[in-house]
Amino acid sequence: MELSKPIPAKAAPKKRFELFEFFYKYGTILTILVLIGVFTAAHPSFLQGQNLMNILRSISIVTIIAIGITISLSVNGFDLSVGSVASLSNAIVISMFVWFSQNTVVAIFSALAAALIVGIINSVLIVKVKIPDMLLTLATMFIIQGIALTYTKGATISQNMVMPDGRFATGKISEAFQKIGQVPWIILIMALAVVLVHVLLNYTKHGRYMYVIGGNEEAARLSGIPVNKYKVAAYLLSALFASIGGIVLASRVMTAEINAGTPYLMDGVAAAFIGFSVFGAGKPNAFGTLVGAILIGILQNGLVMMSVPYYSMDIVKGAVLAFALALTYYKLKK
């Protein structure tokens, strides 16, 4: 009889643990379904094809930028400069058309090159100088913001704008570039980015090495993995995807606004961390990041349809991010 007494005590914690596991794995999906139900009940037009397409278009840039953050997280890094890199790329690609009358290839290459320079600087200072990634990318975030503002002289760059000498800008944005930010191309670019990074992280040795580095850097080093090279590659890819996000944003709005990419930082970080828990992955992953971006997109779209003031959006997004971080780090410590 005494041997049977501990059984009920062990059974209860097991049930609680399984419940937590269920919500950890499927909580994001369930939340998306609940939000869809609530917003559809409030506004039947929420599920109309046009609105769903608007949601996909709105999350495309966030997802692309968040994919870069996901790669940096895979090596246990963190890149806070992605929003500023997107702003810089946005400004450069539009200015190449409007100010310098360049073609599409030159404009896009110039923006990507500038972003890769930022990635090189970030990676060298983090890997070689050993500056903590969060502190370093926080500093470069402000530096790049300042460079972008100086480059644009604090003005919006657009076709037929008035130049400092009083003349009108004569450069035109090419029709080929304009299509990048339109449906379906903007959605296809997002899908391609997700698929490529998903394959990289899950089906190649390079992705496995990145996850090993992110799990235990010293163990990875002792195993013969070139840790520094992979960390450099991660920050270069992070800057590259941030630049692609900025370029797509430029094509979508056809102008270069001041610090246009900055608002995408928090959304991208939230999407990447929400992705940790999708289907119980427990690590940064491209598909989870996409699901996280979908959750944020549905939330924003639904709140707008319900006439929630725009200045309250950050409260909701901040709460979602805090919940995702709490869930992720609680799970990692278990």
pLDDT beyond 80 at 17: no
> Can you tell me the distance from the alpha carbon of 52 to that of 34, in angstroms, rounded to the nearest whole number?
16
Please provide residue 9's backbone torsions phi and psi, each rounded to the nearest 5 degrees.
-65, -35
At residue 320, the pLDDT reads 80
| Tens-place pLDDT, residues 71-96 | 999 999 999 999 999 999 999 999 99
Average of pLDDT values for 182-211? 97
At residue 12, does pLDDT exceed 60?
Answer: no
Q: Which pair of structure tokens corresponds to residue 311?
A: 């200045």
Determine how many CB atoms are found less than 10 A away from the CB of residue 205.
Answer: 8
pLDDT of res. 22: 83
> How deeply is 218 buried, as exposed, middle or buried, from its count of CB atoms within 10 A (0-12, 13-18, 19+)?
exposed
328, pLDDT greater than 90: no
Q: Spell 126-154 as b/e; 16+ CB within 10 A means b.
A: bbeeeeebeebbeebbeebbebbbeebee
What value does the mean pLDDT of the chain take? Answer: 91
Whether the pLDDT of residue 9 is over 80: the answer is: no
Q: What is the Cα–Cα distance from 119 to 71, expressed in whole angstroms?
A: 13
pLDDT digit string (tens) for 292-304? 999 999 999 999 9
At residue 14, the pLDDT reads: 52
How many Cα neighbours within 13 Å face the side chain of 301? 27
For residues 318-325, average pLDDT: 79
How many Cβ atoms from other residues are within 10 Å of residue 255's Cβ?
18
Which residues, in sequence order, are CB contacts of 88 under 8 Å at separation 6+?
A: 111, 114, 115, 118, 144, 147, 148, 151, 243, 246, 261
- Of 2-16, 23-37, 155-169, 201-215, which has the strongest mean pLDDT? 201-215
103: Cα within 13 Å, side-chain hemisphere: 1
Name the pLDDT band for 1 (thresholds 50, 70, 90). Answer: very low
User: Does residue 207 contact residue 215 with C-beta atoms inside 8 Å?
Assistant: no
CA separation for the pair 92, 333 (Å, rounded): 43
Counting other chains too, the contacts that 218-226 makes at CB distance below 8 Å and 24 or more residues apart are: none
Q: What is the C-alpha to C-alpha distance for residues 244 and 247, in angstroms, rounded to an integer? A: 5
Going from the C-alpha of 36 to that of each of 42, 155, 289, 295, the distances in angstroms are: 10, 39, 19, 10
Q: d(Cα 160, Cα 173) in Å, to the nearest integer?
A: 11
Mean pLDDT calculated for residue range 140-150:
96
pLDDT tens digits, 242-280: 999 999 999 999 999 988 999 999 999 999 999 998 988
| Structural fold of domain 48-322 | ABC transporter involved in vitamin B12 uptake, BtuC (1.10.3470)
The full DSSP string for 32-67 is: HHHHHHHHHHH-GGGGSHHHHHHHHHHHHHHHHHHH
10 pLDDT above the threshold of 80: no
The mean pLDDT of 229-251, rounded to a whole number, is: 98
How far apart, in whole angstroms, are the C-alpha atoms of residue 275 and residue 311? 26
Proportion of the chain above pLDDT 70, given as a percent: 94
More confident residue, 71 or 23: 71
pLDDT at 45 over 80: yes
Region of residue 48 (left: phi > 0; alpha: psi -120 to 50; beta: else): beta
- SS in 3 state form for 80-115? CCHHHHHHHHHHHHHHHHHCCCCCHHHHHHHHHHHH
Q: Residue 3: is its pLDDT beyond 50?
A: no
